[in-house]
Structure 1
């Protein structure tokens, strides 16, 4: 028997869950499927900027997030070759209209768990684990999905399908869409480590600027759990990654430092985008639509802003307030924002962190120092985040959330 559903979201990560909750809050029937047996806990992006916090506030989950997250009020740009540390205060950098003037740090799996709890309280919602998408066919009116489950293969017929299933998206693959762009030559190593880095002089968020030993180091909890992400030569054997971790750590802390690695994950970073974020009744969001390197925390922000735009526009279409052309606006505008704002900004941060030329590094260091001292330029990171949100959506007064 074929299941009849209104919206099926493929991928139960933060983008999929946020999209599901946004639609469900408008009374729309939502089904979320994922090939994994449950919410995945792995070292991925964990920094939530004020624009994302505003979204979580509108969705009614901000209090739960605030209760479990670490509240970060600033960062430091660190230059090991000179010993310079340039501090950056988020409140100083805030725009006048900002409600929140700090960042939240907590795992994507924790956000997913919070939203899953809220989603479960709403009618006509369901989350199916161990459901692997294997087929997708459209006929102009509905989308037929072939899904492998623990009980065998089943068919799901949906009015709309959203692919939020990551950079290796099965949805994108089944649509026959390429993933245009490039992959960075470095392998990124994300580690969660228990260590007292505050005692070593680290701020709660740190960007280490060095041609070899660059890193993003951020506190993940109110205790001593930290995220330390660094890069290594992508040609090295991934299987021997663990053997090299102690040598990399010596660049960031004295050899006698006590630490305990809780998790570590290697991954390749991309600057890629699908050529279209909509194919008839299937839409792409988050890493399924685009992917960038994690320097600056813009990938997660962009994915969640995709979800923000998508649940509003698709909700308005399904309630008959606007025509389906609103979804073309989504596809066109979110792709533009990634190509013109997110990816160039992320590439700039990555290149600045690992700049090989010492003269250029010195120029960038002094430019950063002056920017932090000038209120008009100190707000640039907040401006970038606000631009990633995008402009007004074509839904008008019909918006339900």
Structure 2
């Protein structure tokens, strides 16, 4: 179905993306960049990016090819900085002793450090620059949808509660862990909540002064976590775990006490807290990423803990592969559209379970390992291939997150 235009031609229905985070906007940009489809791409997002919104702040080298394909790497490289090193170290009570680490040389592939709001801001500008194709509606959210034979009617409400209906070719939910679109689909997230809450605390502190690398995985059964540089202005992420049943009030009261166990002894009085964001550590995956004319990607489709760095990376890979599939379908080139979308869903589920879920669970267990003694450290180096490889100066690259469209059934 399409909307008649004044000159008698039919204007194709838009593609609507719920969620203007990095994944939803990246998908929108890839669709807007395609010359094969004339469809308008509409993104609806309730919240405007704020400079305090650092959230996801590191991009893995394995997804750089996706950014390069979209022509984003030069600008992303200017907006962010590249990590100078990564290491595993003991907790402060054990002297912050280095277990294994690597300092990157100029030109070596390293994490791109970029606060989420900066990435979102760039993507919004890029999508909106496609004036005839791209539209980002801030302050709006999807509240309902009804599938028809050849379209899906989506209810969208603004901040004042005013609701409108948009008839679209497809609706994609990239609206995060608490996805409304996933709930509308009636699709459950299979998996489990892990036995801790994680607290992402952004502070201003000079960790370099005390010999810390740009990315430090702190290994300890209790005082485990990640200490990572966010920018060049002294902002760092200190992520740590607390018991699952800790209330938010208790959690906020205990931040300073917890930071005493994460920061080096000499500098414990010299930090400034900028942001505290608690969340549950989860390993979950939707039973399907696609039904009819509605799909899911990113955190709306799967959740993982941050210690393998594969959360946002897998969402970007979802968007990259889904864009190629949708372009194939919308340009009427697919052999079987329904089969292709279903095949994409199966492939992405399998990719999450095989390539993201298992390494992420291992990473969560790794940071909680007992390394109090040298014997414990030697056992870790022998049993853990990633730490062992880093000790030898050869960081392991994870398997590919990509899904090849032409290899999918129905292409």
What's the TM-score once normalised by structure 2's chain length? 0.87
**SS of equivalent residue, structure 1 residue 394:** helix
Alignment match of 2:29 (pick from 21, 26, 41): 21
For residues 291-302 of structure 1, what are the structure 2 equivalents within 5 Å?
Answer: 291-302=303-314
Which residue in 2 is equivalent to 1:345? 359
| Structure 2 CA distance for aligned equivalents of residues 136 and 55 of structure 1 | 30
Q: Which moved more, 1:101-110 or 1:156-165?
A: 101-110
What is the match of residue 6 of structure 2? none
Aligned residues: CA RMSD: 2.5
> How many angstroms does 1:115 deviate by?
0.9
Within-5 A mapping of 1:375-386: 378-380=394-396, 382=397, 384=398, 386=399
Structure number with bigger Rg? 2
Of residues 8, 15, 30, the one that matches 2:41 is 30
Is it true that 1:133 corresponds to 2:142 in the alignment?
yes
Give the conservation status (yes or no) of the 8 Å contact 1:77–1:87: yes
Please give the alpha-carbon distance, in whole angstroms, between the structure 2 residues aligned to 1:204 and 1:234. 28
Alignment of 1:1-400 (within 5 A): 5-27=13-35, 28-38=39-49, 41-80=52-91, 81=94, 84-89=97-102, 101-122=109-130, 123-149=132-158, 150=160, 152-253=162-263, 254=265, 256-322=268-334, 323-324=336-337, 325-355=339-369, 362-367=378-383, 370-374=388-392, 378-380=394-396, 382=397, 384=398, 386-390=399-403, 392-394=404-406
2: CA distance between counterparts of 1:41 and 1:283? 30
- What is the DSSP-based 3-state SS (H/G/I as helix, E as strand, rest coil) of the residue aligned with 1:167? coil
Contact in 1 for aligned 2:49/2:117 (Cα 8 Å): no
The alignment partner of 1:266 has SS state of: strand
3-state SS of the aligned residue for 2:169?
strand
Please state how far the C-alpha of 1:140 moved relative to its aligned partner. Answer: 2.9
Deviations 1:335-385 (A, max 9, x none): 00111110111010001101358676651145455422557xx342x2x2x
Give CA-to-partner distance per residue, 1:69-111, whole Å, 9 cap, x none.
121132010023375413433769xxxxxx9611101112211
Question: What is the CA-CA distance between 1:165 and the residue it aligns to?
Answer: 0.3
CA drift of 1:240 comes to: 3.2
Q: Which runs of 5+ in 1 are unaligned?
A: 93-98
Q: Which stretch has the larger CA shift, 105-114 or 52-61?
A: 52-61
Q: How far apart, in 2, do the equivalents of 1:148 and 1:42 lie?
A: 24
CA distance in 1 between partners of 2:154 and 2:260 (Å): 50
Task: State the alpha-carbon separation in 2 of the partners of residues 130 and 284 from structure 1.
Answer: 21
Measured after TM superposition, the shift of residue 310 of structure 1 is 0.6
Do the aligned partners of 1:70 and 1:219 also contact (CA within 8 Å) in 2? no
Q: Is the 8 A contact 1:181 1:273 kept in 2?
A: yes
Cα deviations by residue, 1:121-149 (Å, 9 ceiling, x for unpaired): 11221111221211111123111111212
